[in-house]
């Protein structure tokens, strides 16, 4: 079975503004393997968000293919595309985009609505996710009462609700201060390493991008032919859930307490 | 591909709809009040029309029954020839409603009692029953309003009817008061006793066994009969004595041996006593026909008013329906515009077009449900006021009632009472239910386009919306 979860072939997006045509993306060929944490870097207007919207089935390309889990989603009719957005993709936005009149836990439950999970199971899953992002004590709080970092954590939990194939993050730290940005990227790294979540993150911040496993560069709508490896993990990114001491990703058991690391 | 739990989905949608509706309290309140009034109009107007329809139907039935009763009475008295000293004394003479009194300014005229004996000798006459009707001494002042202004008149409080108490006559003909509800009726040989109408009993507060003064003489009340007129029945000789009318009568009921003698007897009386008014079976039939014509005119007018009312009602209900749909439409369009970003978020996290459409449809229906409840309350309380304000005045169906007073056995037959009372519109449960259903339907129709627009919104465009 192929290890590729997301692939684009000659992806092109042209916007027409009056008679003018603007090539937002041209000939983008991207391949994301299962378990990858890829950061796409580029200056403003380079087409990062356009690319992410195409990958996330929020927009249609002018030409080319987006293959998600072996399905060319550009050929999927608009009226059934929601199934891919619900079950295959988790979206994280720069502005969090939580529903202000729902509590944190209700926001996390929202994507699970209409799935085969019963209400009690959805609530349990939402609770687990809030625990993973470190917000179990604030689950009943509504977004306006949460800090920006906390709101982004809720948004990450929401994106993970349906166990998506891939997590797409559009400038997830764009609205956060340096310290909170670091915490959020560390959270994404942990998810990638511990849970094996495949992540594609768009950012213009090189510090943030450096925490990914792969760093790709987009310029004027084209994916540059140079790819860097990120630092991926910093000391303290991974800790034992039992004794909270630092561990390495390849550790199956904690070297300090000897307990199994999930 | 994937199973869904629809019940849970709708519960979540409903929860969000309730929260969204309740977080904009003032707007929701204003929309509910506006829609509530629309709904109140939608239920009050049909209620008003139905009430007027029922009143017209009741009027029609009342007229038909009265005409039938009159016809029956006329048929029963085919051998009766009425002879009176003045024109008003005749049966079905078209006297105004509830006026068993001489017309104002008209002097009471009498027939000499010797005429009774003379008429008795005419060939074919079986019996002659004399009556003496006199107004009471006591008068009451009443203010009358006319198009030319109002003025005060004084009119007698009651009428005294003196009847001949010979048992042969009492047993054969209907000459005494009917419907005695307390005490007894007059019998042969009675003197110094009276039978009074219920109306008069209530007016004076006198009951069976009490004494009452009539023309300075005290009479004992022995019976009360059910009638809306104010009348006293007593022995004719008592009336003649107390009113200084010894030897006078005011009216004669002449009974022929059979119908073949009636015309001849009438002709003889008219020839011999040209000053008297003679009414026969045929005259009474002609009067009945005139009454029927009046009835038909009255009914036609009330039906035409009803039809006019139905047209206006149709127009007003149509306006209310359009207004309701527009209020919901604009409110929901505004809501969809305001929550464009939310639509984008819902679609980005996997909501289908159908889910988004349901969300906004449900909100529209929720608003109209609340408005329906408010409208039902306003409708129940305000239906009489709303229908009277918005429908052509019910007084236009309030036709001049006409009546015959007399005559048979002291009974008064009133016409036109059905619509002479004011018609009160009441919203019945069926109308309320229909109005509520209409409100929900209009809420759904009004939300349909905004919800469809919301569902069709591109998630990417919606997410960019600020």
A67: in domain:
no
CB-side neighbour CA atoms (13 Å) of B163: 27
Distances (CA, A) of B10 to B5, B17, B348: 9, 10, 19
Query: Following DSSP, what letter does each residue of A39-108 receive, concatenated?
Result: EEE--TTSSHHHHHHHHTTSS--SEEEEEETTEEGGGS-GGGHHHHHHHTEEEE-TT----TTS-HHHHH
| Average pLDDT of chain B, as a whole number | 82
Chain B residues close to A162, C-beta within 8 Å: 350
A88: in domain:
yes
Whole-angstrom Cα distance, residue A196 to residue A34? 8
Q: Which two tokens stand for residue B373?
A: 């409840």
A16: in domain:
no
Chain A residues close to B345, C-beta within 8 Å: 97-99
Mean pLDDT of B264-270: 91
Closest CA to B234 of B174, B163, B137: B163
Closest CA to A158 of A182, A135, A181: A135
What is the value of ipTM here, to two decimals?
0.87
Domain that holds residue A50: 33-61+72-229
For residues B356 and B454, is the Cβ–Cβ distance under 8 A? yes
The reported pLDDT for the residue numbered B98 is 37
DSSP β-bridge partners for residue A66: A8
**A177 & A244 share domain:** no
**A238 & A181 share domain:** no
Listed in sequence order, the residues at least 6 apart from B39 whose beta carbon sits closer than 8 Å to its beta carbon are B320, B324, B371, B372, B374, B375, B376, B378, B379, B435, B436, B438, B439
**A141 & A190 share domain:** yes
For residues A22 and A45, is the Cβ–Cβ distance under 8 A? no
A17: in domain:
no
Closest approach of B457 to chain A, Cα-based (Å): 11
pLDDT tens profile B114-142: 888 889 889 899 999 999 998 888 888 87
Q: For an interface test with B, which of A55, A78, A101, A114 has the most B Cβ atoms less than 10 Å from its Cβ? A: A114
pLDDT tens profile B290-319: 888 988 888 888 888 889 889 999 999 999
Domains of chain A: total: 2
CB-CB: which of B9, B23, B460 is closest to A101?
B23
How many whole angstroms from its chain centre is CA B448? Answer: 45
Higher pLDDT, B144 or B330: B330
Higher pLDDT, A8 or B424: A8
The reported pLDDT for the residue numbered A251 is 64
pLDDT tens profile B326-375: 999 999 999 999 989 999 999 999 999 999 999 999 999 999 999 999 99
**A262 & A163 share domain:** no
Is the model's pLDDT at A254 over the cut of 60?
yes
Domain CATH number, residue A106:
3.40.50.300
Closest CA to B237 of B173, B200, B201, B193: B193
Do residue B347 and residue A82 have CB atoms under 8 angstroms apart? yes
DSSP β-bridge partners for residue A17: A20
**A166 & A257 share domain:** no
Mean pLDDT of B261-267: 90
pLDDT tens profile B379-429: 889 888 888 888 876 443 433 333 333 333 333 333 333 344 456 777 788
Q: For an interface test with A, which of B15, B22, B348, B458 has the most A Cβ atoms less than 10 Å from its Cβ? A: B348
Closest CA to B371 of B29, B46, B20: B29
Whole-angstrom Cα distance, residue B444 to residue B101? 65
The reported pLDDT for the residue numbered B401 is 38
Whole-angstrom Cα distance, residue B288 to residue B282? 10
Closest CA to B253 of B126, B123, B110, B136: B126
The reported pLDDT for the residue numbered B416 is 38
**A170 & A239 share domain:** no
Do residue B460 and residue A59 have CB atoms under 8 angstroms apart? yes
Whole-angstrom Cα distance, residue B211 to residue B252? 29
Do residue B20 and residue A83 have CB atoms under 8 angstroms apart? no
- Which range is least confidently modeled, A83-92, B167-176, B252-261, B306-315? B167-176
How many whole angstroms from its chain centre is CA B347? Answer: 62
Boundaries of every domain in chain B: 6-63+293-464, 80-256
Count of A-B CB contacts under 8 Å:
87
Outline where B24-163 has alpha helix (H): 25-76, 114-120
Mean pLDDT of A149-164: 94
A4: in domain:
no
The reported pLDDT for the residue numbered A262 is 57
DSSP code, position B147:
T
**A82 & A160 share domain:** yes
| Whether B12 contacts chain A with CB within 8 A | yes
A22: in domain:
no
Using DSSP's 3-state secondary structure scheme, residue B70 falls into helix
Q: In which residue are the tokens 């990703």 written?
A: A249
pLDDT band for position B227 (50/70/90)? confident
């Amino acid at each position: 079975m192929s290890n590729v979860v997301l692939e684009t072939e000659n992806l092109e997006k042209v916007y027409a503004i009056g008679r003018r045509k603007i090539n937002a993306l041209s000939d983008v060929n991207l391949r994301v393997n299962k378990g990858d944490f890829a950061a796409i870097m580029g200056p403003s207007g380079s087409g990062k968000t356009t690319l992410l919207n195409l990958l996330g089935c929020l927009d249609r390309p002018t030409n080319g293919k987006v293959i998600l889990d072996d399905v060319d989603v550009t050929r999927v009719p608009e009226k059934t595309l929601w199934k891919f957005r619900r079950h295959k993709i988790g979206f994280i936005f720069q502005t969090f985009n939580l529903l202000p009149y729902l509590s944190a836990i209700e926001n996390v439950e929202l994507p699970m609505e209409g799935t085969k999970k019963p209400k009690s199971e959805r609530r349990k899953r939402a609770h687990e996710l809030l625990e993973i992002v470190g917000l179990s004590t604030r689950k009943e709080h509504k977004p306006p009462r949460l800090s920006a970092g906390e709101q982004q954590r809720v948004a990450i939990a929401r994106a993970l609700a349906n166990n998506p194939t891939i997590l797409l993050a559009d400038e997830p730290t764009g609205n956060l201060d340096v310290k909170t940005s670091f915490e959020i990227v560390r959270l994404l790294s942990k998810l990638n390493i511990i849970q094996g979540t495949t992540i594609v993150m768009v950012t213009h911040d090189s510090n943030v991008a450096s925490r990914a496993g792969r760093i790709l560069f987009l310029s004027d709508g084209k994916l540059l032919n140079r790819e860097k490896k990120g630092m991926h993990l910093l000391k303290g990114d991974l800790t034992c859930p039992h004794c909270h001491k630092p561990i390495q990703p390849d550790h199956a058991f904690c070297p300090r307490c000897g307990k199994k690391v999930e | 591909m994937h199973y869904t739990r629809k019940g849970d989905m709708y519960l979540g949608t409903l929860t969000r709809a309730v929260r969204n509706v309740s977080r904009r309290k003032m707007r929701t309140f204003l929309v509910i009040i506006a829609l509530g009034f629309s709904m109140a109009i939608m239920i009050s107007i049909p209620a008003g029309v139905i009430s007027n329809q029922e009143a017209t139907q009741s009027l029609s039935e009342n007229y038909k029954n009265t005409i039938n009763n009159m016809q029956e009475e006329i048929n029963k008295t085919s051998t009766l020839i009425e002879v009176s000293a003045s024109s008003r004394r005749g049966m079905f003479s078209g006297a105004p409603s509830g006026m068993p009194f001489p017309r104002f300014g008209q002097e009471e005229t009498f027939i000499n009692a010797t005429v009774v004996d003379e008429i008795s000798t005419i060939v074919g006459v079986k019996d002659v029953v004399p009556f003496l009707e006199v107004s009471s001494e006591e008068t009451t002042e009443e203010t009358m309003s006319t198009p030319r202004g109002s003025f005060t008149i004084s009119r007698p409080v009651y009428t005294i009817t003196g009847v001949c108490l010979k048992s042969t006559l009492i047993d054969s003909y209907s000459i005494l008061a009917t419907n005695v509800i307390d005490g007894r009726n007059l019998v042969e040989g009675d003197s110094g006793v009276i039978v009074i109408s219920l109306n008069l009993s209530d007016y004076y507060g006198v009951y069976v066994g009490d004494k009452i003064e009539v023309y300075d003489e005290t009479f004992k009340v022995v019976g009360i009969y059910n009638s809306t007129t104010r009348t006293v029945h007593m022995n004719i000789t008592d009336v003649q004595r107390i009113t200084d009318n010894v030897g006078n009568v005011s009216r004669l009921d002449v009974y022929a041996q059979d119908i073949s003698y009636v015309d001849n007897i009438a002709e003889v009386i008219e020839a011999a006593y040209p000053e008297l008014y003679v009414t026969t079976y045929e005259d009474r039939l002609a009067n009945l026909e005139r009454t029927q014509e009046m009835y038909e005119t009255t009914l036609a007018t009330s039906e035409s008013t009803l039809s006019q009312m139905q047209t206006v009602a149709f127009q007003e209900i149509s306006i209310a329906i359009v207004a309701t749909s527009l209020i919901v439409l604009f409110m929901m369009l505004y809501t969809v515009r305001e929550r464009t970003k939310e639509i984008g978020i819902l679609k980005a996290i996997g909501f289908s077009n159908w889910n988004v459409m349901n969300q906004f449809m449900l909100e529209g229906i929720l608003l109209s449900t609340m408005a329906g409840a408010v409208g039902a309350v306003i409708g129940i309380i305000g239906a009489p006021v709303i229908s009277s304000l918005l429908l052509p005045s019910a007084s236009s169906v309030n036709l001049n009632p006409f009546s015959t007073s007399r005559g048979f056995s002291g009974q008064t037959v009133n016409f036109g009472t059905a619509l002479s009372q004011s018609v009160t519109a009441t919203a019945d449960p069926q109308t309320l239910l229909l109005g509520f259903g209409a409100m929900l339907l209009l809420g759904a129709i009004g939300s349909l386009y905004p919800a469809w627009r919301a569902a069709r919104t591109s998630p990417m465009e919606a997410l960019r919306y600020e």
